[in-house]
Amino acid sequence: MGGHHWLSHQLSSIVGEPTEIGLSHATEWVLMAVSVSIAVIALLMAVNIYRKKTDEAPTSFIGQFFYNKWHIDELYNTVIVNPLNRFAGFLKNSIEKQVIDGAVNGTGKLVQYSARQLRLIQNGQVGYYILFMVLGIVLLFLLWFNDTLLLRFFHNLIK
Amino acid sequence: MLLSFILIPFVTALLLLFIKKNTSANTIAIVSTLGTLVAAIVVAGKGAVDFNAPWIPVLNAQFLLHVDGLAKILVLLTAISFPAIIIATSQNQPKQKNIFLSLLLFTQSGLMGVFLSGDALLFYFFWELALIPVYFLSSIWGGEKRIAVTFKFFIYTFLGSLMMLIGIVFVYMHTSDQSFLIQSFAKANLTGGQQVTAFALFFIAFAIKMPIFPLHTWQPDAYEQSPTAVTMVMSAVMVKMGLYGILRWLLPLFPTAFMAHIHVVVILSVIGILYASFIAIRQDDIKRLIAYSSIAHIGLMNAAIFSHLQIGIQGVMVQLFSHGINVLGLWIVADIIEQQTGTRSMQQMGGLAKKQPTLAILLVGFALANIALPLTNAFVGEFLMFNSLFQYNVWVGAAAGVSIILAAIYTLNMVQKVAYGEVSTQINQMQTINTPAQIVLIVLLIIVFVTGVFPQPLFDLTADSLQQIIVK
């Protein structure tokens, strides 16, 4: 008996040759006989039930259970589909929009905000300008006398 | 020969500026891009070729073009994409068609230059030449929010480009012969720390271009707001610049720094894959769905490169081509639907299979390729990439593998909403689809299945680059 493995070489250039998983012919026959007889029994049962009534929903508990396909759809929806959808919605609406895009747009807003604030320094009062000039000169002197420190800092930055 | 890839589009682009008549502008653009395609097919059949000329002698920068397997596959993708895009969108291009097409062809010229440059300064030059026309295209002919979105795209990518320029100058100063050639860069005297600095500067540029989580937020906005022809160029070809940059420049030039960062990048990429896939599930806008799906797929390719196994890099090289073809097909279908119905919301679609059976079949074909079903081109590349990630680390492989299921969820959901169900009022407005667009879609779908069943030519094409990258 046994089938021919005519598809087994399709990916051999990528994954290598497949190894044979052999079953004895007796096992194959037994497996076929069992599965065919289960199918035949189920077929006969179905004919027996649906010959009498057609569209009515069953009333017994077991009947209901099978009528609703073992409630697999409901179970699947509650356990997998709905949590998955909620999680995806959370990522889309909160994380993506507010956290990540918020950080990006926030950078832009911060720049604009600081520009608006810094603009206030240009207020036309000469006293302020002199103050800033003196502060600038002090800063320059500080840098001047600490040039080795500064050079070392830039050196480390590049290294 | 190699120069023709840059000159044909560039000269045509200049010429188009003076052609006022729309139909002749369109014909010229199509003939030019088909000419480039023929040249690409001829070069793909040859061995490695060089073109060398002095460029800026003061800086010792050379106009060196070099083609090997990796470059060939991307030149081929660019050469196929442009005629496909121009033919498929020819009926809904803006009024000043000649300028629109001219800018598109400047981009093609830049893209070809990026994939062929063997000199870092030239690479940077073409990198910008490819980007700048896109800013104009999107900000002139984009959607309602085009100015804000293009500005974001500009700031993002320009920041990346400038980082790369600093990186290029930094490495240049450490070359022994003061040259921008890739060979000199590879021999530059960099200490471990300097290599990490250079790696970071280059990597940021490439990471933004791809894009990698969390640097991706420019992309869905830009894809949504740009004219569709531009979106197609960006997602089919332009994002490949980042992956190409990593394979051509980052990995061979800074191997030590590369190896030191593989874990960080792989984990970041895998987070990005899952993150983008989850967001795609909840998208109602078909363009944003394709955008997030693309982020996930590119993330997988990046993770596979950084898993640093031969099998993964092999998969990436094939996938560079396959992803371009698939995403192009999806965009063209999405564009036809948007042009004819005036909506991108999938809630307002439905019943395409009843109204437009041919288009629905094509959509399903590209959707299956997007899920990487066996017999489609994406299966080959993704199989190799997942294999490589599993070899790198079982848990990382398993986490990335979840994205296969998520891809099936969002893609099949899209097919269900668009193709099946009752015919919606919007879909009902659709009229016959123009034949050129249909022919383009059919040709792309044939490529999907042919390279899916018989991928060996793609492997043969990239074999030489793979050896070089792995040996280093």
Residue A61 lies inside a defined structural domain of this protein:
no
Choose one of A12, A34, A56: the last residue of a domain: A56
ipTM, two decimals: 0.76
* Interface check A88 vs B, CB under 8 A: yes
**Looking at residue A53, what is its pLDDT?**
66
Choose one of A12, A32, A56: the last residue of a domain: A56
Amino acid present at B117: S
Quote the minimal CA–CA distance from B72 to chain A in Å. 22
Confidence of residue B350 (pLDDT cuts 50, 70, 90): confident
Of residues B253, B276, B274, the one with CA closest to residue B203: B253
Cβ A88–B281 below 8 Å, yes or no? yes
**Alpha-carbon span A16 to B314, nearest angstrom:** 16
* Residue position matching structure tokens 């005519």: A6
Q: For chain A, positions 102-131, list CB contacts with chain B under 8 A.
A: 104, 108
Query: So where are chain B's domains?
Result: 263-472
User: For residue range A11-33, what is the model confidence (pLDDT) as tens digits?
Assistant: 666 666 666 666 778 888 999 99
- Structural domain boundaries, residue A28: 1-56
How many residue contacts between A and B have a Cβ separation below 8 Å? 38
User: For residue range A56-95, what is the model confidence (pLDDT) as tens digits?
Assistant: 677 778 878 888 888 888 898 898 889 988 998 888 888 8
Axis-axis angle for helices B97-116, B22-44 (nearest 10)? 10
User: For residue range B126-154, what is the model confidence (pLDDT) as tens digits?
Assistant: 999 999 999 999 988 888 888 888 888 88
| Entry field: residues in chain B | 472
Quote the minimal CA–CA distance from A118 to chain B in Å. 22
**Looking at residue B412, what is its pLDDT?**
93
Q: Is B55 helix (H, G, I), strand (E, B) or coil?
A: strand
Residue A142 lies inside a defined structural domain of this protein:
yes
Q: Which residues on chain B are in Cβ contact (under 8 Å) with A159?
A: 191, 193-194
State whether A49 and A1 are in the same domain.
Answer: yes
Average pLDDT over residues B352-368: 90
Q: Which residues on chain B are in Cβ contact (under 8 Å) with A13?
A: 456
State whether A128 and A145 are in the same domain.
Answer: yes
Residue A155 lies inside a defined structural domain of this protein:
yes
Average pLDDT over residues B251-264: 89
Average pLDDT over residues B401-422: 91
State whether A1 and A41 are in the same domain.
Answer: yes
Q: For chain B, positions 198-227, list CB contacts with chain A under 8 A.
A: 214, 217
Q: Which residues on chain B are in Cβ contact (under 8 Å) with A158?
A: 194, 197
Put residue B259 in one of left, alpha, beta given phi > 0 → left and psi -120 to 50 → alpha: alpha
Q: Structurally, how many domains does chain A consist of?
A: 3
Residue B256: phi and psi, rounded to 5, are -65, -50
Residue A1: is its pLDDT beyond 50? no
Contacts of B352 (CB under 8 A, 6+ apart): B337, B359, B360, B363, B418, B419, B427, B430
Residue A64 lies inside a defined structural domain of this protein:
no
The per-residue pLDDT of chain A, averaged, comes to 82
**Alpha-carbon span A144 to B47, nearest angstrom:** 60
Residue A77 lies inside a defined structural domain of this protein:
yes
State whether A3 and A45 are in the same domain.
Answer: yes
State whether A144 and A156 are in the same domain.
Answer: yes
